Amino acid sequence: MLQKYEGIVIRTTDYGESHKIVVIYTREAGKIAGMARGAKKPSSRLAGASQLFTYGFFLIQSGRGLGTIQQAEMIASLRAIREDIFKTAYAAYIVDLLDKSTDEKESNPFLFELLSQTLQYINEGHDPDIVTHIFEMKMLSVLGLYPEMQKCVICGNTEAEFGFSIKENGLICHQCFDKDPHFMPLSQRAVKLLRLFYFFDIQRLGTISVKPETKKELKNIISLYYDEFSGLQLKSKRFLDQLDNLKGKL
């Protein structure tokens, strides 16, 4: 059966001398894979459309096994990402996180829009740290993780100074800090941003100016939460962290 999909390339694997196996996250069917025959040849009509991060329409012939990409029409190459090692590292982590968090052929149009908008923001030059943290917070529900971000997870207080409790899975107010001696203290600016990233529509993103010390707080608490609950160990995350440390020394 021949079907047309709107999608973004999230993973490619060389196959033989000239072919590629291309994994695409699609609007219509979620994650699907297809063989792009001859795509490694520069002259191939699939060469450009089968590159990582490419957004386009893909005509796929499906059968019992792996489908075959018959045609591809590029909508956007996201060239600025591929031309910058730092943008590439952020985008690679984002598609890797989505890839490892989803099963094949599970349709999720919201997730497709989230991925598309996130990569577009990075391509356009928005702060990649902030965009990536928003994506990470939005991915929690995909992983079946629901931290309490509206009120104190212990007493329900909504008006207080908050930290974050990994043990209790959510915000913890100053009156309950003694309930978890290992809670993570946070500035209230960081708390406000965590809430914002978790709840708001990424398409409404404007310009968010965040101080380096607040960025560090956000990175630490999100990374700690993922390490504790997600079960994911991503090489792309380790590489991004290494580049981030290098960037801090430049």
Say which residue the tokens 């917070």 belong to.
137
Residue 74, domain extent: 2-126+233-248
Domain count, the chain: 1
Flag whether 46 is in a domain.
yes
pTM for this structure?
0.94
CA–chain centroid gap for 183, Å, is 26
Flag whether 122 is in a domain.
yes
Residue 110 CB-half CA count within 13 A: 7
154-195, pLDDT tens digit by residue? 999 999 999 999 999 999 999 999 999 999 999 999 999 999
91-117, pLDDT tens digit by residue? 999 999 999 999 999 999 999 999 999
| Average confidence (pLDDT) over 26-43 | 95
Closest CA to 110 of 134, 81, 138: 138
What was the pLDDT predicted at 249?
59
Flag whether 62 is in a domain.
yes
Asked whether residue 207 carries a pLDDT value surpassing 80, the answer given is: no
Q: Give me the CATH number covering residue 58.
A: 2.40.50.140
CB burial class (10 A; 0-12, 13-18, 19+) of residue 31?
A: buried
What was the pLDDT predicted at 64?
78
Q: How many residues does the chain have?
A: 250
